[in-house]
Structure 1
Amino acid sequence: MKRSGAADLPLHYGYVPQWLADRMARLGLAVTEALLADYGRDEVLRRLSDPFWFQSFGAVMGMDWHSSGITTSVMGALKRAINPHSKELGIYICGGKGSASRQAPAEILKVCESTGLDGVELVRSSKLSAKVDNTVVQDGFQLYMHCFVLSREGQWTVIQQGMSTGNSTARRYHWHSAGLRSFVDDPHTAICGPNQGEILNLADHQADPARKGVLSLTREKPELMMQDAQQLLTQPPPRTQDAQQFLTLPAHHDVRAEDVDLRRLGAVLWLAHDRRPADFEELVLLEGVGPRTLQSLALVSEVIHGTPARFRDPARFAFAHGGKDGHPFPVPIDVYDETIAILQGAVHKAKVGESDKLDAMKKLSALAQRAEDSFAPTGRGLDEWIAREQADSWKYGGRTVFGKAKPPEAAVRSKQLRLF
């Protein structure tokens, strides 16, 4: 196994309203089932271990696209939705936030009782991953959330998050059992976050001499250790370079042009709102779906079928269902519900051998990618597009933590806005 990555996020307090939490659980289950149908359990765990995909997944669910709350809310929604169906799906989620994190070992052992997996070894993996991120890597973040996602085959992913109250940021750590050779020698698949200055990372491969030195100290005489310590106090510490890649998200709430890949976003919006059915025969099974719902479906489809390189701009996926704080626009409840219904219907039909609609979802993602080849964004229309989404939000049942969207006082502009 290895730690697959990490992310640094602005620390947000607050809550997830029930109207959003329920929808996040339903959409999370539908996306998981679609992933299982096309790619299997190992791929579900790999996706969860990718910090960029995880952030995009949270954004498409209607959470604040950049906030620390994505971690706890997404994992909470998935645990509520998946665990009642774990026997069928073969996926189990243990642990959680705060006191729930300390229940992970007992929950892992309970899963192992029914699956025959090695509970002792899996509990050890859970505890070690937390110990490494809390103690071996001393980067100023104190863990407060730990989730252990386990498959029927014994593969696992860990998603855990720490808080630094000093600079109001949270850091999320991802681990993946596939390919991990050591818990203390470059174990992470990724760590995401801004550079916080020099840190003590005894899990870095370059720290192997330091780890050996720590072990040797246990065999040294105390008086010799004190002499060496006095010498070290007069010498500058050696500089090391952290080789990990980080996902770092900005503090600003609004979505800006620099936060998204304009070509990819523009192609989705163009396909959804200006498409010509004669040119896209593959969409025939989605005929009757309104353009606004098609926009959301295209982004949800990419979360299911996109390759890792396509998740480097998580903010783009907020254009599926907005954000609970109103950025880039209020959550369109009616569109959200229709998206869930279409995806759930496609998944359920696939279970009985009718995979046409699930295949159509996959083709929708491919069509959006094809459209990118001929799409040339100018970068001037993003703010106008967001303004129109906000103005039209009331038409789709738009809602935020502050209340329901209302019609603008001025008449909504009727002229067609150019896409970028």
Structure 2
Amino acid sequence: MKRLVREIIIAIVNEYGPQEMPKRLSDPFWFQALGCVLGFDWHSSGVTTTTCGALKEGIKGLEKELGLFIAGGKGGTSRKTPSEIVGVGEQLSCDPEKLVYASRMSAKVDSSAVQDGYQIYHHSFIFTKSGDWAVVQQGMNDANKYARRYHWLGSKVTNFVVEPHQAICCDSRGNTLNMVAGESDEARKMTVILSQVKPDTLVSEIKKMQNLYLPSRHHVDVHDIHPDRLYKIFTKTYETVPKDFESLLGIEGVGPKTIRALALISEIVYGKAPSFNDPVRYSFAHGGKDGHPFPVDKEVYDRSIEILRKALKQSKVGNSEKMDAIKRLNYLDA
């Protein structure tokens, strides 16, 4: 698998340049197709971690020659991403700190600004020497046992906190506190204003709200927020005086509970409601012939097959490996 992905990457970089890899990996269809052609289970959450792992191992030793680098990974490895980026050092023709910021902010958005019940446990940061980048990260929901994959493409991110994703993939949708949705603009502005209010005032407002009965449609439970525990971080935001929502989100210690509390005050006290629309758009699967989790979309299915064929044709693997892969693909066609 590492050998095959190594040759696929070499072929793509030789043909299109290193900047093509972030573009392709940010495409959920192409990423899924790559995982399938490498032999991973199409319907397993492991396709994300194993494909990213194979990519990172596949180009090991060739990073400087390719002008392509991959940092991060699963679990504890994901926390090494900043040091791995900085470690590339002189091989970059751009400021590594900008890439470190992109890595940290993308992780912060998907763990705190998009509260969908999926705990992020995998973060891969793909970047080139000139500063092109993409993020593929994944979260797991312990309640429904589904995984959710988040795709980012640096060249398409004009604002880290306003519709920044290239795609979000999952087979399950639900209610989500989505502070990066376009319709959350007023709520974002209000949370910044509130973050500059004295902590005693904020804590007092939350305690008042805990005596209220919110309508059943509301997806943030005020009783899950513990005002006294938030006092310290409210003090920090008050002293820092963030200029916008991105700055607020970037403050160390500001996490899901802080954002939930500020969003709740924003809505209940000032009528500035955030979006609760789940931003997931794509699914891990092509669908099932029995209609579950949804009917097969043949056009999408054919597109994935064509992507696989092109990837194989462009690879430089030995003839036997190439033909075996194409035979397996043709067998699926029958």
- Partner residue in 1 for 2:183: 206
2:209 pairs with one of 207, 224, 229: 229
- CA shift at 1:115, angstroms? 2.1
TM-score (norm 2): 0.69
Alignment check: 8 A CA contact 2:176 2:277 kept: no
Larger radius of gyration, structure 1 or 2?
1
Structure 1 residue 241 displacement after superposition: 3.7
Equivalences for residues 17-416 of structure 1 within 5 A: 24-220=1-197, 221-222=201-202, 225-226=205-206, 229=209, 233-235=213-215, 237=218, 240-242=276-278, 245-249=281-285, 259=296, 261=298, 300-303=308-311, 338-340=320-322
Once the two structures are TM-superposed, the CA of residue 201 in structure 1 deviates from its matched residue by 0.9
Answer yes or no: is the 8 Å Cα contact 2:289–2:295 preserved in 1.
no
Structure 1 residue 189: deviation in Å? Answer: 0.8
Structure 1 gap segments, 5+ residues each: 1-23, 269-297, 307-334, 344-360, 362-367, 369-381, 387-418
Following the alignment from structure 2 to structure 1, what is the Cα–Cα distance between the partners of residues 15 and 291?
A: 32
Mapped to 2, the partners of 1:164 and 1:150 lie a distance apart of 28
Secondary structure (helix, strand or coil) at the match of 1:96 reads strand
C-alpha contact (below 8 Å) 2:178/2:277 kept by paired residues? no
Per the alignment, do residues 118 and 262 of structure 1 end up closer, same or farther by CA in structure 2, a change over 3 Å counting?
closer
Gaps of 5+ in 2: 219-272
Q: One-letter code of the match for 2:164?
A: P
Q: Structure 2 vs 1, CA of residues 263 and 121 (structure 1 numbering), >3 Å: closer, same or farther?
A: closer
Cα pair 1:161 1:172 within 8 Å, conserved:
yes
Mapped contact 2:287–2:297 kept (Cα < 8 A)? no
SS of equivalent residue, structure 1 residue 107? helix
| SS, match of residue 175 in structure 2 | coil
Aligned residues: 268
2:61 counterpart SS class: helix
CA distance in structure 2 between the aligned counterparts of 1:128 and 1:108, rounded to whole angstroms: 14
Distance 1:255 1:55, change over 3 A: farther
Between the aligned partners of 2:307 and 2:182, the Cα distance in structure 1 is 38
Partner SS, residue 128 of structure 1: helix
Distance 2:59 2:290 in 1: 32
Q: Percent identity?
A: 37
Bigger relative CO (Cα 8 Å, ≥ 6 apart)? 1
Contact in 2 for aligned 1:29/1:82 (Cα 8 Å) = yes
Alignment partners' CA distance in 2, 1:170 and 1:146: 13
What SS does the aligned partner of 1:83 have?
coil
Shift of 1:303: 3.4
